[in-house]
Chain A
Amino acid sequence: MGNAFYLQNVLGGLAHGSLLFLIAAGFTLIFGLMRIINLAQTAFYLLGAYVGLSLGLHGVNFWVAGMAGGVVATVVGLAIYGIFLHRYHASPLTALLLSLGFALIIDDGSLAIWGGDPQSIAPPHMFAESIHLGSLVFPEYWLALIVVSTVIAAGLLVFQQRTKFGAIIRAAVDDEEMARGLGIDVNRAFYFVFALGAFLAGLGGYLGGPITSAYPGLDGELLPLAFAIVIIGGMGSLEGAFIASMLIGLVNTFGRALFPELSYFTIFLPVALIMAIRPQGLFGRKLQ
């Protein structure tokens, strides 16, 4: 196990973390603002993957197909939020239980449309090669995904911290009633954030597709990882979600390579320890 082994796993881990971030960002933003744990978040990922896959098979450009996956996830997400979830603002538990039902519906609906066989997703042509550096070999696409995800993370942070709409969202997170009292249209922020979360997950589904591929049950496998990320990063924290995504990506990849029999254990044991020491996560504020 030379340097090449470690470097390759570091890159693979960061690439894995990049796709996890696209799920976790929406998850943590939606929770931070609305206190809804959206269990359909990884179902949006799967939906985006399948939609992109169908378009990709018809020769649509990779990135366009990814965006389309994001858009379809957004439309479905907005329908779920607008028709159902937003009524249950006062009881986050009901919203959570409902989102679970929609996760089942999306998962089984995808199975009906796209079948049960795992389907691999090819990376875009321009990044289809592998890079050889001495004994180190890795797909170019890993780098591309890491860059894209980092740019999105930076964009989200700038948006949240530096724009007026971002300030509105932060105000609504801190004190929803006060924000309403100041005449801020908090509902618009709710719809926007839910749509954004669904879009990122849907986009992530196709962009992450070359790594995870797409198959029924993928959403159920990714959900606990998203949970681990928000536990480590802290519920509602975007920076925390980014760092924790990369951390989980790395631990997961190294765990699989070094302890193939215990890799889940290597993820969730640290999570359990963090819970014991800092229930609010490494970067989170204490849940009221």
Chain B
Amino acid sequence: MSRPWRNAIVIGILLVLAIAVPRLGLPAFYVSLLTQTWIYGILAMSLDLLVGFTGLVSFMQAAFFGIGAYVVAIGATRYHFVDFWPTLLAAILIAGLVAAAFGALALRSEDEGFIIITLALNEIIWGLAYQWVSMSGGDNGITGFLRVNVGPFHTTDNSGFYYLSLAALIVCLTLLVLMVRSPFGLVLVGARERPRRMAALGYNVWLFRYLALIIAGMFAAVAGVLFAYYNEFVGPGSLSLDTTVQVLIMVILGGTGTLIGPLLGAGILVFLSNALSDITQRWVLILGAVYVVTVMYAPDGIVGLVNRLMAKARSRRELSLAAGAAVGGAFHSGEGPK
């Protein structure tokens, strides 16, 4: 079976499974964990566009997630701005504008400087959410707004919200995959690997990175909008350093530059945090340790690890096939180790 076919079948099966989940009679608890996975998955993939494909380790992705969430909450509670689509559009636009301003500042530095500056910029937004009590509700956050139905999705129902998040995930994943495979995405990767050569080829490396920052910010805002509706609550924690760190861990644990890896990482973190917090209070400590081991021994994350193991198995099989042929073909050659 050729690879595209195999991939298509795998994707089809996963999709059917994902759609079937709320009807399998699983406890509602698992449906809500999966809903969170899809939402954090969008956020983690948006960060992967920067970390994995563009080579920019941004510490301000939580800010755009939070902006999306606060647009929902502030819009609904202070400006009677409650329709889903206008809210989503406003969130994406505002996040894009802030990303355009922050990106222009942050891209004046590279590498370590970029990390430091993005972290500081994230704090501006966090500081507003935390301290501007009359607007953001401060530490108490904002409640008093409700989920709204979107098209066919009855979101007040948890399985309805599950499908909304799944649909959003599929749309975002498709858009991101198309983007990274487009010439635009190839230039991003090229500029990550060989910025000078790309510049010499006539590409405006700065502009491509800048656009990637803005686009990633917009995707993060989509995740933030869903997150706000899902919880029917928004607090400054959603755009704190903790969120940044968790999302970064999702991306690295799953595998940078793979999109699907960060989604996997999001699932692992969501499920692990729930499972572990039942058993132990020290789940952050365990997370830290898992993360350290990942960075040290599997820097390309789980997807990278699996790819490496599969490549090894494949080359061993090919090697044994070749060896079998070389022995003289006296034995039929299908007997490689499985």
Query: Number of B interface residues, CB 8 Å?
Result: 45
CA distance in complex: A74, B109 (Å): 31
Q: Which of B35-43, B66-74, B118-126, B314-322 contacts A (4 or more CB under 8 A)?
A: B118-126
Q: Return chain B residues, CB-CB under 8 Å to A92.
A: 111-112
Would B285 and A235 count as touching, CB distance under 8 A?
A: no
Q: Which of A12-20, A65-73, A163-171, A259-267 contacts B (4 or more CB under 8 A)?
A: A259-267
Using known A-B contacts A231-B117, A231-B120, A262-B132, determine if residue A275 contacts B109 with beta carbons closer than 8 Å. Answer: yes
Using known A-B contacts A262-B131, A269-B124, A279-B108, determine if residue A112 contacts B281 with beta carbons closer than 8 Å. Answer: yes
A108 at the interface (CB under 8 A from B): yes
CA distance in complex: A287, B299 (Å): 26
Would B128 and A84 count as touching, CB distance under 8 A?
A: no
B296 at the interface (CB under 8 A from A): yes
Q: Which of B76-84, B171-179, B208-216, B240-248 contacts A (4 or more CB under 8 A)?
A: B240-248
Q: Return chain B residues, CB-CB under 8 Å to A107.
A: 284
Q: Return chain B residues, CB-CB under 8 Å to A100.
A: 245, 248, 291
CB distance from B139 to the nearest CB of A (A): 12
CA distance in complex: A12, B122 (Å): 26
Task: Name A84-98 residues within 8 Å CB distance of B.
Answer: 84, 92-94, 96-98
CA distance in complex: A228, B124 (Å): 11
Would B285 and A105 count as touching, CB distance under 8 A?
A: yes
CB distance from B261 to the nearest CB of A (A): 15
Contact for A101 among B113, B130, B132, B288, CB less than 8 A: B288
B282 at the interface (CB under 8 A from A): yes
Task: Name B91-127 residues within 8 Å CB distance of A.
Answer: 104-106, 108-113, 115-117, 119-124, 126-127
Please, could you name 13 A-B residue pairs with CB atoms under 8 Å apart, sorted by A?
A93-B57, A97-B252, A104-B245, A104-B284, A108-B288, A112-B282, A224-B241, A230-B116, A261-B134, A265-B127, A272-B105, A275-B108, A276-B105
Closest 8 CB pairs of A and B: A264-B127, A104-B288, A101-B292, A108-B284, A105-B288, A108-B285, A224-B123, A268-B124
A residues whose Cβ falls under 8 Å from a Cβ of B? 31, 35, 37, 84, 92-94, 96-98, 100-105, 107-109, 111-112, 220, 223-224, 227-228, 230-231, 235, 260-265, 267-269, 271-272, 275-276, 279, 287
